[in-house]
Chains A and B, each alone.
Chain A
Amino acid sequence: MIVAGCDVGSLTTKAVILDNTKIISYALIKSSFNPDQSASEVMEKALKQAGLAMNDIRLCVGTGYGRERIPFVKKTVSEIACHAKGAYWLLPSARTIIDVGGQDCKAIRLDIKGNVIKFMTNDKCASGTGRFLEVMAKLLNLELEELGKLSSQARNAITLAATCTAWSQAEVIVHMNSNTSKADLAAGINDAMAARVSILVKAVALEKDVCMTGGVAKNIGVVAAMEKHLDVPIRRLRVDPQIIGALGAAVFAKEKMEGK
């Protein structure tokens, strides 16, 4: 049985096609201004990869901030539930999920059956969300993807005292003017980001196993700093962490069809 999940986020839109227990394809695109268009485009891409047509999909579940505007979706589920579902499906030992997206951050606690028992969200302050890293990468004239790798080359990581993105930006500029290496800047930025996210995670009473989802989970510098701040290992997921919301949506679709 083939089902799909589509996650329309503020910055990226993701789709996953699932055949029973196998992910047969997935796609990821930048979100456009129009959520319907983003959803259709990403789904077309995923279908093409799988060599399928829309009629082959028994059910598609939508999630993400633009979920109400996905034309081909009959059912929608919250992002929190989808991230929990997707992560638990991949890693049944997961009890804490940290999802850091482009404009928000969530810490989700699961029970042994994978039910959400507690969660905290920050979408009020850019600090501790992907947006913080985006602002900093732009300031350093780096691609967002480079920021994570650079961390490992740092010798003397800078310390950022401020929480606010606006103040941190000013702090980084001061360091840039004193010729601090980009690696030392990147490491300090990733560490500040991790420190901020850790506060939210501690607030849901973290429990092992811990895993990270969302685009920021691809930043190895942030992941390493999170392990340090939380003092627990972060379990790597076997698929792209950015598609976990869409995967969870697809798992919901499968369960719905199975009558669960």
Chain B
Amino acid sequence: MFVAGCDVGSLSAKAVIMKNGDILASHVIFSKPEPEESARAVMSGTLEKAGISIKDIAHCVGTGYGRNSIPFANAVESEIICHGRGARWLIPQVRMVIDIGGQDAKAIRLDDAGNVIRFAYNDRCASGTGRFLEIMAGAMGIRLEDMGNISLQAKNPVAISNQCVVFAETEIISLINAGKDLSDIVSGLHKAMAHRVAAMAKGIELEKAITMTGGVAKNRGMFSALEEALGTKIMSMDTDPQIIGALGAALTARQAVN
């Protein structure tokens, strides 16, 4: 039996198809102007990888900011619950999930049964979300996906004094003009952002077993900067951290069918 989860986010859309309790296929695309379009495109990409058609899907759950515009979803579930559920399925001992997406960041605490007991959320200020790194990459003329590797070469990370995305952008332009090393700037940006996210997570009290989800978790520099800011190790997952919301949605679909 096949079930699916579809996560339509602000910047990317993700889908996961599960077969009898295993991940069969997953797919990630950039979001299109209309959420409905994103949902259709990402699902057809996933179906193609799985070699099945939409009729074969017994149940599909939608999540993400565009979840109410997914034409083929049978039900919807919040992103917070989906990220918690997906992360816990992959790492059963996990008690805290830090999800950094393109336009928001969340810290989610789970109890022993995997229920969400507390969460903190920022979507008001771009600083501390994926948008921060995206704007900085643009200002430095580097690709977002290269930031992680670039930062690993840093020798003397620069201290970034501004928190605001707009002010920080000006700051890094002057740092570049002052001849600072690109890797030192990128590393400094990761530290600044990690500090911001860590403050949010500490606001709901840290748990011991922490993992990180969302597209930003793929950035190795950011991953270790967050470990440093939290003062604890983060458990890494062997599955693409960007699909965890969709995975949680697929798990929700499986529950519904069973």
Across the interface, B165 reaches (CB within 8 A) one of A103, A162, A163, A165, namely A165
Q: Which residues on the A side are within 8 Å of B166 (C-beta)?
A: 126, 131-132, 135, 165-166
Q: Is B164 an interface residue (CB 8 A)?
A: yes
Dominant SS at the B interface? loop
How many residues of chain B are within 8 Å of chain A by beta carbon? 12
Residue of A nearest to B134 (CB): A166
Q: State how many angstroms separate the Cβ of A240 from the closest Cβ of chain B.
A: 26
How distant is A73 from chain B, measured CB to nearest CB, in Å?
Answer: 25
A201 CB to nearest B CB, Å = 20
Mark contacts of B125-159 with chain A using CB atoms, 8 A cut-off: 1 yes-contact digit, 0 otherwise. 11000010001000000000000000000000000
- Given A166-B131, A166-B135: A126 in contact with B126 (beta carbons within 8 A): no
Q: Which chain A residues border B126 with CB–CB below 8 Å? A: 164-167
| A117 CB, min distance to chain B CBs, angstroms | 29
Report if A124 contacts B (CB, 8 A). Answer: yes
**0/1 string, B34-50, CB within 8 A of A gives 1:** 00000000000000000
Set of chain A residues within 8 Å of B167, measured between Cβ atoms: 103, 126, 131
B55 touches A (CB below 8 Å):
no
Q: Which residues of B contact A162 (CB under 8 A)?
A: 124
A205 interface residue per 8 A CB criterion: no
Do the beta carbons of B164 and A163 come within 8 Å of each other? no
A125 CA / B128 CA spacing, docked (Å): 13
Across-interface contacts of A131 in B (CB, < 8 A): 166-167
Kindly identify, within residues 161 to 197 of chain B, every residue whose CB is under 8 Å from any CB belonging to chain A.
162-167
Min distance, Cβ B173 to any Cβ of chain A, angstroms = 12
Contacts A125-B125, A125-B164, A165-B166 known; 5 new A-B pairs at CB < 8 A: A126-B166, A132-B166, A165-B126, A166-B135, A167-B103
Closest 7 A-B residue pairs measured CB to CB?
A: A126-B166, A166-B126, A165-B166, A166-B165, A126-B164, A164-B126, A125-B164
Q: Which residues of A contact B (CB under 8 A)?
A: 103, 124-126, 131-132, 135, 162-167
